[in-house]
Amino acid sequence: MSKERLEEIKSRVWKDKGTYAMGDYSQREGYIYTLSDYDYDWLVKQAERAQELENHLKLYDFWYRTAYEQNKRYREALKNIYELAEYDEYNNTLEQIVSEIEKALEGTK
């Protein structure tokens, strides 16, 4: 959103005191703003664009947190595999390694 464009629109808006309905049969004193359809359309497009960006940000945040949790599980599995390989007998190690990998991958289903 262009700050300059927003300032231009603010300078062109007509602001009048008025009373308007609240929807529940009550009224409210305030201001009534009048602006051109061109400016109105631009403001609506900017609001829609902001909503799209907010949705993208939420999606990115979700994927980031998901990837972080997956990486955390993988690091834990690798740590356990390393310890198994270092301290355990060879015969049991392969089976335990597979078990650790399966545990790490369970959260990705």
Give the residue-averaged pLDDT of 85-107: 71
Residue 88: per-residue pLDDT:
60
For residue 6, being part of any structural domain is answered with no
Least confident of 5-19, 55-69, 85-99: 85-99
In a domain, 24, yes or no: no
Q: How many domains does the chain have?
A: 1
Q: Is 25 within a domain?
A: no
pTM over cut 0.75: no
**What DSSP element (H or E) covers 86?**
helix 37-87
**CA distance linking residue 41 with residue 49, whole number of Å:** 12
Q: Is residue 23 part of a domain?
A: no
* Residue 107 lies inside a defined structural domain of this protein: yes
Is residue 78 pLDDT above 60, yes or no? yes
Is 59 a member of any domain? yes
Mean pLDDT, the chain, whole residue set: 85
How confident is the model over 85-98, as a mean pLDDT? 68
Identify the domain containing residue 102 by its residue range: 52-109
> In 10 A of CB 100, how many CB atoms?
21
Please compute the mean of the pLDDT values over residues 61-77 and round it to a whole number.
85
